[in-house]
Amino acid sequence: MKNPSPLAGEGRLAEGERGEGAAPLKQRARAMRKSMTPAERALWHLLRDRRFSGHKFRRQVPVGPFIVDFLSFADRLIVEADGGQHADNLPDEARTRWMKAQGFRVLRFWNHEILTQRELVAERLFLALADPSPRSASPSRPSPARGEGKE
C-alpha cells in the first residue's frame, strides 16, 4: 500500500482512509463535486460547458496525489478557489510548487473575490488563457495586502 503524500492539501486521504492506487482519490473527488462551496459553484458556472472562451475545464480532478478545484488539461491551467484557511498555508505552497514542477500553471482566487468581483476573476482567467506561457498565471497566492486579485 502506498503511503499518503507528505504534503498536506485538499484531496489527500483523510486519517483512517485506506486504499490502493487512485481509487480512493477518485472517490474523494466525486464526493467533493457533490459538495462544492458557493464560490466553487460560481466559478464552475463560469467555466463549465466550454462557456469560458471555448476552453474545456473539469472540476475536482485528481492530479498526482492531490485534487484540484478546476483544470484545463489542454491549457495546463489549474484554477483554485481558496477560503481563509488557505492564507499563509505552507502545505498549499508545497502543493503549488509540485503542480508547477509537473508543468501546470496555478491561478488562485479567494472565495470572497469570486463571489463579489466576478468581472475581475473573468478578466484574470481570460488573460491567463490568452497567454499560455507559465508566467501568465498570477502568483500562486492572491495577496490581500495588495488587494484581492490585483496585479
Q: Which residues, in sequence order, are CB contacts of 122 under 8 Å at separation 6+? A: 46, 52
Cβ atoms of 137 and 129 closer than 8 Å:
no
Indicate the CATH number for domain 23-143. Answer: 3.40.960.10
Query: Is a pLDDT exceeding 50 seen at residue 126?
Result: yes
The pLDDT of residue 136: 44
Please say if the pLDDT value at position 2 is more than 50.
no
**For residue range 20-40, what is the model confidence (pLDDT) as tens digits?**
456 788 888 888 878 888 999
pLDDT in tens, 35-84: 888 999 999 999 999 887 899 999 999 998 888 999 999 999 999 998 76
Mean pLDDT value across residues 4-8: 37
